[in-house]
Structure 1
Amino acid sequence: MKNIPTSPRQLVYMALTLFAPLLLTVALICWAPAKPGQTQADTLVAAGVVAGVVLLFAAILAVSAMRHAIDITPGALVVKHSMYTLTVNRADVTSVTVQEIPAIADARLSTRKNGTALFGYYSGWFWDTRGGLTFCAVSAHPIYMVTLEGNAPCRQLVLSASPEVARAIGAWGA
């Protein structure tokens, strides 16, 4: 099992995106004038609900940040990234081409099918400009584009990996 590198800067951006609206909500709860008939218990219930949502978002962010691995076995290639998993059986692949790309824009992604795209962090399923399905697991540089020929669930995999892992994926498909 090999790890996909993560960028701490991207995790900070994601945390800000998740928590900024909650901070505004907390500010409204704490500093908004009380309505007629509102009690201290009402304010505490509202604060409790917001605290629960904050904990839920923190758990989602933690799980997303910690789940990033590539497992290469003779029978399958399994990529786990954030909440998404791609499994490619070796029997479904006739050839594999691996090339480093300088930026995610070179993957020619067009729209998100089921995934997350945020501040250079791409995780999940995307359509490319040619209408093909692409699985992304990008969270840092270097970025590799893996083209799969055969009956794989997608024709293209874009991922963050070390050069050693990229070579191992190429050897797996040879």
Structure 2
Amino acid sequence: MTKLPTSRRQLAYMALVLFAPVVLTVALVCWAPPKPGQTQADMWIAVGVVALLVVMMTAILSLSALRHAIDITPDTLVVKHSMYTLKLERAAVTSATVRELPSMDAARLSTKKNGTALFGYYSGWFWDTRSNLTFCAVSGQPVYLVAFEGSAKCRQLVLNASPEVAQRIAAWANPPTAN
């Protein structure tokens, strides 16, 4: 199993997006004037709900930060990125091409199917402008586009990885032919 790189800057942006609403909620709970009939127990319930939200958001951010790996076996390619997973069977892929992208715009993504796109962080399932299902695992540079041929549901994989990992994926998808 190979770890994919993560970007601390993008994780900081994600933390900001996740925790900004919680900070505003805490401010409202702490500084809002009490309503008539409000008790101290009501305040503690509100604090407990906010604490539960903070724990849940921290768990989501931790999962996003820790789950970035790729596993290449002779039969499968598994990419785990944040909360999303791509699993391709070797039998469903006849060949693949790999190329480095100068920017994420070159991936020509159009719509999120089930994923996250924040500040250059792309994780999950997207449609491209040609209606190809694309799995993204991007949290830094360099970015590679792997286009699959065959009967696999996923037609493209966009990921940031080392050139060696990109070439391992190409070798997995394009095994040498026996003469």
TM-score w.r.t. length of structure 1: 0.98
What corresponds to 2:100 in structure 1?
100
CA distance in 2, matches of 1:88, 1:153: 9
What corresponds to 2:34 in structure 1?
34
What corresponds to 1:133 in structure 2?
133
After superposition, where does 1:14-163 map in structure 2 within 5 Å? 14-163=14-163
Residue by residue over 1:118-157, the C-alpha shift from the partner in whole angstroms, topping out at 9 and shown as x without a partner, is: 1111111101001111110111101000000001121111
Query: Cα distance, 1:37 vs. partner?
Result: 1.2
CA distance in 2, matches of 1:68, 1:153: 22
Residue by residue over 1:27-77, the C-alpha shift from the partner in whole angstroms, topping out at 9 and shown as x without a partner, is: 111111111111111111101101001101110110111001000111111
Counterpart amino acid of residue 123 in structure 1: S
CA distance in 1, matches of 2:173, 2:96: 5
CA distance in 2, matches of 1:36, 1:71: 59
CA distance in 2, matches of 1:147, 1:131: 13
Please, which runs of 5 or more residues in structure 2 have no aligned partner?
175-179
Structure 1 vs Structure 2: percent identity of aligned residues? Answer: 70
CA distance in 1, matches of 2:134, 2:29: 43
Query: Cα distance, 1:19 vs. partner?
Result: 0.4
Helix, strand or coil at the partner of 2:77:
strand
Query: Cα distance, 1:25 vs. partner?
Result: 0.5
CA distance in 1, matches of 2:73, 2:98: 17
CA distance in 1, matches of 2:144, 2:151: 21
What corresponds to 1:170 in structure 2?
170
CA distance in 1, matches of 2:11, 2:135: 20
TM-score w.r.t. length of structure 2: 0.95
Superposition CA RMSD, Å: 0.7
CA distance in 1, matches of 2:76, 2:48: 45
CA distance in 2, matches of 1:82, 1:125: 12
CA distance in 2, matches of 1:62, 1:145: 27
Helix, strand or coil at the partner of 2:35:
coil
Number of aligned residue pairs: 174
Helix, strand or coil at the partner of 1:69:
strand
Helix, strand or coil at the partner of 2:9:
helix
Structure 1 residue runs of 4+, over 2 Å off?
A: none
CA distance in 2, matches of 1:96, 1:20: 42
